[in-house]
Amino acid sequence: MASRGKLPQARAAADAILRKHDRDWSVHLAVFRMWIQEERFREAGTVGLAIVDGRSRITLPRALTNREFAAIAVNASQALAASGRAKESERALDAAVRADPRSAEAANNLAYQLAEEERDLPKALRLAKIAVELAPKQGYIVDTLGWVYFKMGRMPEARHWLARAVELSPGDGELRAHLARAHLKAGELPGAYVEMQKALALAPYVPEVRSLRAAVIRRYNPQGPL
């Protein structure tokens, strides 16, 4: 029904299934994945959050392990964020971090969300450091640590970790855009220009990259080839 555009009927059917199996997380998870497949992130987020908030009650066919619960909570947070429910997304990530302090994904995602909102940056820094300790070779995780430092105005640390992230994931245009912004803020204009050009080549349709290009060329726009 969902794939045929019959969303009210699909919601009613899904709600009926969940009511019948209200203590079975495997059923909740199947419905969550169905909504994700249909790109209905609001509905998916609601189902995922029900698992997060109802962990003590939703215990069939067995109790979730902390690692399993954290993975579900991270996925729920992504669906919630995609549907504009930032506070609920943060709640799911907080639950994931508490359940599994060794989940690099949970720590990283919560750190990045706090950094983007420029809120509780000391907490974001602590979580980002934990994530890097757990996954030091993951470029996007190292990037989060650099981005937290950027939001804190600590440019030497920001540029160090953002450059390290680009070394680990050289084909990621968004990571290069972050490094370009750090160079730009530090007044390193040639470096900002080079990284902006690379980011634009790798991710030309990402809004952040396009806005970065305008910001860089206002201050530095050399003629001819690099």
What are 187-210's pLDDT values in tens digits? 999 999 999 999 999 999 999 899
Mean pLDDT over all residues of the chain?
95
pLDDT of 140 reads: 98
In this prediction, residue 225 carries a pLDDT of 55
Backbone angles phi, psi at 60, to 5 degrees: -105, 150
The pLDDT, as a whole number, for residue 2 is 86
The single-letter code of the amino acid at 170 is P
> Could you tell me the pLDDT band of residue 63, with boundaries at 50, 70 and 90?
very high
The answer on pLDDT for 150 being more than 90 is yes
Q: Which candidate, 174, 172, 207, 179, places its Cα nearest to that of 193?
A: 179
- Measure Cα distances from 110 to 4, 124, 159, 174 in Å: 35, 7, 21, 18
pTM score, whole prediction: 0.93
Average pLDDT over residues 46-58: 96
Query: What are the DSSP calls for 149-198, one per residue?
Result: HHHTT-HHHHHHHHHHHHHH-TT-HHHHHHHHHHHHHHT-HHHHHHHHHH
Query: Can you name the CATH fold of 1-100?
Result: 1.25.40
The yes-or-no verdict on residue 172 having pLDDT over 80 is: yes
91-148: per-residue pLDDT in tens? 999 999 999 999 999 999 999 999 999 999 999 999 999 999 999 999 999 999 999 9
Q: Both tokens of residue 54?
A: 């109802």
Distance (Å, whole) CA 226 – CA 220: 13
Task: Return phi, psi of residue 187, to 5°.
Answer: 85, 10
- Residue 152's nearest CA partner among 183, 110, 115 is 115
The mean pLDDT of 172-201, rounded to a whole number, is 96
Q: What does the alpha-carbon distance between residue 65 and residue 164 come to, in Å, rounded to a whole number?
A: 34
Written as one letter, the residue type at 152 is: M
Placement of tokens 């470096």 in the chain: 191
Count how many Cα atoms sit within 13 Å of the Cα of residue 209 in the half-sphere of its side chain. 19
Residues 176 and 196: their CA atoms lie apart, in Å, by 7
Please tell me the distance from the alpha carbon of residue 182 to that of residue 157, in angstroms, as a whole number: 10
Give the span between the Cα atoms of 179 and 174, in whole angstroms: 9
pLDDT at 49: 97
Distances (CA, A) of 215 to 131, 143, 205, 208: 31, 21, 16, 11
Query: If you average pLDDT over residues 166-194, what whole number do you get?
Result: 97
pLDDT band at 3 (very low <50, low <70, confident <90, very high): confident
The yes-or-no verdict on residue 224 having pLDDT over 70 is: no
C-alpha torsion sign, points 159, 207, 96, 151: positive
